[in-house]
Amino acid sequence: MPTIGIGAGLLGALSFGAGDFAGAIASRRAGALVAVAGAHVVGLLALVVAVLVVRPPVPDIGAIAIGLVAGLAGAAGLAALYRGMSLGSMGLVTSISGAGSLTLPLLAGVALGATVAPLQLVGVASAAAVAAAAGGASRDEIGRRSLGLAGLAAVSFGAWYVLLDLAARGGDPLWALVFNRAASAGVAALVVAIRGFDRQAVPWRMIVAAGIFDVGGNALYVVAREQMALGLAAALIGLYPIVTMLLARYRLGEHLPRLGQLGVALAVLGIVLISAGG
């Protein structure tokens, strides 16, 4: 197996996990929409610089439109994820969203006639079992709200995977990321501007970190995908909830009950099996 691809996949998981942690911290202080808007504006600026350096061919209008819609799905997912992580267990919320986001594209493929490997079926069952474990671990109202937001994030991220793949196939992957991020940053920034926010409450360092880590994870996934099979690349990237969980554990002292630990383990298992079975 290519060393570069494996390294990129593991670094991508580290980048996504660190970005989610930073975004959740920023969300607790300034609100989910402010965190999303700030992180995505930072990511957009980094992608624009990359386009100016690489100068890939501009895609057709269809690929641009799909990329923009993907951005809206991504913004909704990230806002739900940040809000859910700010309310409940970071490790559990990110694990549920990670498992669910891979399950949706798999089911969409089945609806279109794709073949599902036995490992992927086990992965779907494992991801579905997360809900039961998570429900038992979160008995209060805030805990249940965080799980609902995790589910919303999973559906939104699943749609983002499908739409971004279509946009990249119709044009250049880098341009697909640019238009995806332009839509998400634009909509989130507009909503924040209309609603207003307290500038002094914004943790700018955390927001910049979230934006850089998020776009870094996207770039590293592209590198990993070019070096190895899609299933293995996605399986490596899909380990990012472990990073978020460890950061929450050792930076915030977050503890999970036994059922919560089981939910995280099932979610990670589901991510790996669904991805590796492809």
pLDDT tens digits along 54-104: 888 888 899 899 999 999 998 898 888 888 888 877 777 877 787 777 777
Q: Read off the pLDDT of each residue in 182-201 and give the average, rounded to a whole number.
A: 87
Q: What Rg, from alpha-carbon coordinates, does the chain have?
A: 18
Q: How many residues does the chain have?
A: 278
Q: Using the predicted structure, report yes or no on whether residue 44 has a pLDDT greater than 90.
A: yes
Residue 157 belongs to domain spanning: 3-276
Q: Using the predicted structure, report yes or no on whether residue 192 has a pLDDT greater than 70.
A: yes
pLDDT tens digits along 199-234: 887 889 999 999 999 889 888 877 877 777 666 666
- Tell me, what's the pLDDT at 277? 60
The angle formed by the CA atoms of residues 120, 105 and 256, to the nearest 5 degrees, is 70
What is the rounded distance in angstroms from the CA atom of residue 97 to the CA atom of residue 114? 23
On whether the CB atoms of residues 223 and 8 are closer than 8 A, the answer is yes
On whether the CB atoms of residues 149 and 84 are closer than 8 A, the answer is yes
pLDDT tens digits along 124-177: 666 656 555 555 555 555 567 888 888 899 889 888 888 887 887 777 888 988
> pTM for the full model?
0.78
Q: Annotate 138-185 with DSSP letters as a single string.
A: --SHHHHHHHHHHHHHHHHHHHHHHHHHHHHHTS-HHHHHHHHHHHHH
Q: Read off the pLDDT of each residue in 5-27 and give the average, rounded to a whole number.
A: 86
What is the rounded distance in angstroms from the CA atom of residue 18 to the CA atom of residue 210? 7
* Mean residue pLDDT across the chain: 80
Q: Annotate 205-229 with DSSP letters as a single string.
A: HHHHHHHHHHHHHHHHHHHHHHHS-
* Count of the separate structural domains present in the chain: 1
